[in-house]
Structure 1
Amino acid sequence: MKTAAYVQVQREGKTRKLKRKRSIPLWIKGCALPAVILAVWQYIGSIGLVSANILPTPMAILSSFYELTLSGELFSNMKISVIRAALGFLLGGSLGLIFGILTGFSKKTEAYIDPTLQMLRTVPHLAVTPLFILWFGFDEISKVLLIALGAFFPIYINTFLGIRSVDTKLFDVARVLEFSFKDKITKLILPAALPNILLGVRLSLGIAWLGLVVAELMGSSAGIGYMIMDARLYSLTDKVFVGIIIFAVVGKATDSLVRLFERKLLKWRDSFKG
């Protein structure tokens, strides 16, 4: 016979299943606020409360996006921008990871390298832009290096912090298990530092996009930043918004990709979900 406790557990299980089925998907919840903003924005523009030259309606921006897509201008510029951002991120991120590991593992290396890097970190992008132009001109190398400069520091700092934040009690366990130096690095230190490293990657991608905007606005003949500047000269506000939205969408897509890797690589971590 089924006991009262067993029946109660079954009922609770069915209730939880029904709640899961009735719950609103996360992507719908995420779209709720943008949908409200777009609706209010469209209404304000439709009644003429704000000039179209200052704030074009979402429909006008969508129409401009469609025209730029048909002409091929949007994708040609976006392709160039993505390549620049990817090259700069790979260069700066790789160097940031290497230097973060070196300074994280060695106090001596930290003493020689970290003070200089921390000083360079405080220099704004706009301050070094004229110097990059003088050294490398307006060619692609100056843009890639400017993006790499911004992408370097988030990964460097978070890699260093992740390595130095490893619980010392884990080293006692490794000593008991007689881990070799290689095992300590591959099975203890790097896995424990991985959450910080992936956070650094996410921040680095965001800074890389900011660096891309600065790089393309400082002097370029192609790219989304150039498209925005060209539209500004002719007061094509809807085209400016298209460029801004492209930056936002591609930036969000890259961030979501890293978050997907986080979920795959950090399944072992038991953390607060909110």
Structure 2
Amino acid sequence: MTESVREHRKGPVQLRGRQIPETTTDERLLSESEGSEWVHSDPWRVLRIQAEFVEGFGALAELGPAISVFGSARFRPGEPEYELAERVAAGLVGAGYAVITGGGPGVMEGANKGAHESGGTSVGLGIELPFEQGMNSYVDLGVNFRYFFARKTMFLKYSDGFVVLPGGFGTFDELFEALTLVQTRKVRQFPVVLVGVAYWSGLLDWLRDSVLARGAISAPDLDLIKLTDDPDEAVRLVVEGVRDLHASEEAARAEAEAAAAAERTGTDGT
């Protein structure tokens, strides 16, 4: 029997055995233990970071309408969450959207499988981790990243909305990053749909009963999140959210153009 060999992706480089580093690129970037060496190494890191953004933008620039699907890497084929991700992704493809995931196993693989087998565009944005996940086999367009922040920028830039299935810390990070940027108006509002009433209700109860009750958020902030158990309803909610957003943007644009025209007319005296 052939002994399995541990593998590790470091950007475009594939490493095995003793070549695998003990720390990640993110860890080395954030480390304070380098002393004055950072003066010499950090400018080169900036170029590497720039390259990740350039590669990501280049790969995804012509993707078209897309929805990101998030969820745990730990659910296996045959488990309800995996199959739920397949159904959500198939519905999104039917509605005319590409599907973007983190490219790994679990919910991500289920969503990529649903998109791929439905004839849609299946995108995976992978990340360098100490425990290698690799890109799942259902990804049609894959981009591997060293840095989490570069990867998260791609999710936000190229997604029209998010569908979030049960997951752990990584899923929470992606969910709350999106909500924070919308709440603070750093990005335009886009729909966020949680799938799994039993899984997410405790979180939403805490947000309402503790966070909102203490005034740490406002009541409209909770309206940013929709919750359902039905994959078809999840697709409907996110698609309607995108449509409503585009309609409001068109209305705002028309209002601004009308106001500018009225101002020009007043200035010209005609």
TM over 0.5: no
Say which structure is richer in strand: 2
- Bigger radius of gyration among the two: 1
Which structure would you say has the larger RCO, counting Cα contacts within 8 Å and 6 or more residues apart?
Answer: 1
TM-score interval, smaller chain? under 0.3
TM-score by length of 1: 0.23
